[in-house]
Structure 1
Amino acid sequence: MEEDVEEGTCNEAEIRRVVEGMLEKRQIRCWNCGGNHQPLRSKPQSKIARVASLQHPSNSVFVDGLVDGKERLLLLDTGATRTIIRPDIVGTEARITPTSWRLRTATGDPATIRGETNVTIVIGNVSFEHRALVAEIEDELILGMDIMNTKGFELDFKNNVLKINGEKIVLHRKTEETIRVVLAEDTAVPERSEMILDAQLAGNPGVGNIMVFEPRSHDGEVARGIAVGKALLLTEKTVPVRIMNLNHHPVNLKKGIVLGYCSSVSSVIRKLDTRGNSIGRITGELLNLLSSSSRSLR
């Protein structure tokens, strides 16, 4: 009889473990974190912000802009649902508030979100304030679809521009460098004359990109008495370069000579003078002149 009792007896530690397990199963847990005594309604649901990658690929496109008054390089990411700023770019007086947003990348890279903050962004002539996530990213600021949709961004990759509020902002790559512009063929430039010559770009900037051509710092580096003009051009197989021979004798230019350099431009702005007061003043002066002049004709 005593042997039967001993075989059916559990030790105190085993009983305690079973009882604690039963009590734990009855506790209310949070669906988000699994913590005890925190119902679902007591914690906000996490929201997911998506971004293509924390490190930009080689074909990424950028625009120049201002963030809180400082010049920054802004990455355009159509795969990002939210605009994201790097912590060290946030202004010293800016307030970073906690957020329930989480960051998820297409490549699975981890990212730490510090919070949210308000930033003032200027692109071309357009200025606006926006709420951005603060996270550890490679670039200074990622422009997400939240800004692109609300501000009416139009990306024109064919012409390599961003259209916003009637202005065209030139897109460019972060790794762009100045490109040498060389003469395409041997050319004899007559004395005291001006010519437009065919030149080639010593690189591969693509076709249809807007670039600014700057002549070499000293015209004498091309040839003595040869002046080269600055120009805005579209990249093609050959590009036009305007030169002038100021000498009283012809000058022969050899194929491959460096005429100058091309670099990207930030934006193309078209401004119209619509000040009516100056037009009115000029018109009034002309009317007075006409009136005084016509008196002698009577």
Structure 2
Amino acid sequence: MQVEGSVNGNPCHLTVDTGAEKTLVRPDMLATTRIPDAPKRLCGVTGHCVQLKGPVDVSIGVGRAVERLPVYVADLDKPCLLGLDYLTQSKACVNLGRKLVRVRGQEVPLLPEVGCAEVVVAERVHLAPRTEARVRCRLSRAMRGSEGMVEPTENLRLADSVVFGWSLVQVGEELVMVLVANLSNEARKVPAWAKLATCEEVERPEETLGSAEVAVMRPLPDFLEDLGNRSAANLMEAQTEKVRHTLAQYVDVFRRGDMDLGRTGFVKHSINTGTRQEMQRIVNELAAQGVSERSDSPWSSAVVLVKKKDSTQCFCVDYRALNDVTARDSYPLPRIDDTLDALVGAKWFSTLDLKSGYRQVEMAVV
């Protein structure tokens, strides 16, 4: 039995279990991951046991009634299992005849039961390397709905590198087709009557696509007509209408032609240069010292940071392109004896050096 409800404000289906002493929740329904282990285990009829965690205080809502109580945490198939502790605290009463549960005087309808069946392979299957195939399977019981969600069993054991995923199938017939893939470089076999998965009926509204909606459905543009036909190749008429309706609804998502590139804003690519912040700091410092200024000159040159021996960064300008077009200014060095003769008669000697001569010599304006 299930009812619509919430755990800590998160909407979900709550399973009413009058045979459970304590209320259990699944870990993903809680915001925190730091939950202590409890000295208790949850054991099923098959003897398989699961370690419990907690207890933790949570708020469970059914209808307008919200109860705060300590619950245990366990890996469950369902989001939350309401035990006797919750039913007692909330003064809940289950009325199977009217298919409702009364919580604090408020009547909340039970959700319709969803059928479930096992999916077994109808005949032995040979899978070629690196291929996938649609495998004919049988359901262990007849199902009332028209569609079912097939999901792998918890302890699914197939040949190495053979995988099986979730799929939506038509359950109105005795046989269903599911997709199985062989990811290895060798052939694999799936034996007959192997249990692949479980199939659960899909709950759907009574009318997904009303007649009024069909009447105003826009025709597919020419550039989507081929996609619509290929997508509906193996579908029934009602499914084909749904596919075409979805394509018409999201027509702006598809490319109209070779020149229609389009773009997405869901993700944005960023390039981390690693040194941009340091470069910007040095540029701001040079501007503050009056060494550099903003310019739109065509003779701009790239800058690079070079790591020095003391691990600091040296700000360098790549002037190779400028040097390639600069006229050579060559002249001989002065004679050493002439330089020494110039010091004759001097008694005091000193040396002077610019702090940053490369940036302290003025540039001539051309």
Q: TM-score range, shorter-chain basis?
A: 0.3 to 0.5
Identify the structure with bigger relative contact order (alpha carbons < 8 Å, sequence gap 6+): 1
Tell me the TM-score normalized by structure 1. Answer: 0.39
Q: Computing the radius of gyration over CA atoms, which structure comes out larger, 1 or 2? A: 2
TM-score (norm 2): 0.32
Q: Which has the higher strand share?
A: 1
